[in-house]
Structure 1
Amino acid sequence: MEWVLLVAAGLFSGIVGALVGLGGGIILVPAIVYLGAIGWLEGITPQTVVGLSVLMMIFTGLSSTLAYMKKNTVDFKSGFIFFAGSAPGTVIGAFVNKGLDLPSFQLYFGVMMVFISILLLLRKCLKPVRWFVDHGKQTTLTVARGTYVYGYPIWFALLLTFIIGFSSGLFGISGGAMLVPAMILLFLFPPHLAVGTSMFMIFLSALVNSVTHISLGNVPWLYTIPVIPAAYIGAKVGAYLNQRLNSEHLVVALQIVLLLFGIRSIYEGIM
């Protein structure tokens, strides 16, 4: 039964993560924590759930990146710059994770989920900011949807992705929920390019993140057997749907789910 649940969690995490550029960890982590809390999975700790999530993100990131490369919706130069900022953040976050017990993890992770759900909610209400484009290196991209001019100061991109990487190493999430809105609203990336580039950065960061968590003994290897193949397949499905569906409907549903999960996680952490 537990393997069926893990396959379902991995598949859904891969689909949602690739569809809207979140990487999947934001779905997998609360799902695994919940299954562990009700006794359906054994040996779940803040360290093992994060180790499982970051290892999964290697494969969801790779699967999504390969799919987006075929659509030419990956900015590799920006992806490497973002990775340069996030990589050291993931390492520091992984070591900070060592000191968290389950109640503390649930409390802090719940706050993070509520923040992300609010960020996703406000994404459409906020107006794009041109300052970062005007004060950074600009790129012009012409696609079927029109011509886009986007860019960013490298120092700010490195600072932002360091913070995102720290959150990834600490909580096992990809950071795409924060990076994609920032790329669209601050750097004026075209939405589909933002998602594809985000997944490329997630793949690279997950490699570093996973090495750190493996060295710390945080990966429950038995659970990776059902989760990783399911997540890899789910990521391919999500990337396929991204080109054909309006993902905003899923984002709205995701906001509600994250908000409810976040409130419940905060309650469990406090109680």
Structure 2
Amino acid sequence: MPEGPSVKRFQLLTAPFVGQVVAKVGGSSRQRNLKDLKAMRLQDSQASGKNLFLAFGAALEAWTMGGSPSPGPVEEEPTIQGEADRGACSLTLSQEGQEDEVSQLSPKEHSVQRKQETECSVPDAADAAGGIWKWLRFHFGLFGSIRANEFSRANKANKRGDWKDPVPRLVLNFDSGGFLVFYNCRIHWCTSPAVEPASDILSPKFHRGQALAALRQPTSICYTLLDQRYFSGLGNIIKNEILYLARIHPLSQGSLLALSDLESLLDHAVQFSTDWLHKKLSIAYYQLNGMDLDT
């Protein structure tokens, strides 16, 4: 599943849409209350570990604060074949061709995710009208992704031999004409984003002392690295790379390793994650500007 650097890139993709009003909601999600996003304004976008949080508020809220008034209601247009190719979203609720939500979580990751989901609730519509934001939490599956102003296309045949494009879980069309497409993700309403900078490996507030203490526990080092309480955003890819760079066996007991080895592992965790994020952003920049990566 997407790790911290990928989710941070997803957050940066959504950032330009902050302040815009949702004109139409589509996708294959069967959550009826997602339709309530129509005519709401995207107010904020945050990333924490492997989770993306989007805040929505009443469109009139920005107008009363001096912004421009929101546009009138947008009439729904019937979905026709080929509509996606012209940049509009399909409102079809069929699950045919939908990506499987493959989750490869450790037991501790499952525990953290269940805790986050139990803290999620659906705020009343009156809350948004009164100025309180509604938050959506996105947790992405193995092939989860976000596209801005484009749809994902099939690059190979599926197991049945069909060349079917992935079905988006959620599509948000905005009044500006742009749109966001969410694939292979779990979506939950939350009262507030569960952001823990001290455990986020990409945060400037990452608590090295707390992480180092966790690494010194009498537990296999590979399991400690996947504990999102201390290394939020770190997944199997980062884990394997930094253990190789630090020359540490994955099943080594943290309590038996030298402090210098653990500090080196921690340095690699932060540096590799940061470098990976910068690489992703560089590739996105070149693709956005139609530039050749080799130049």
Q: Same fold (TM over 0.5)?
A: no
Give 1 or 2: higher strand fraction: 2
TM-score using structure 2 length: 0.27
Higher relative contact order (CA 8 A, sep 6+): 1
Larger-gyration structure (1/2): 2
TM-score using structure 1 length: 0.29
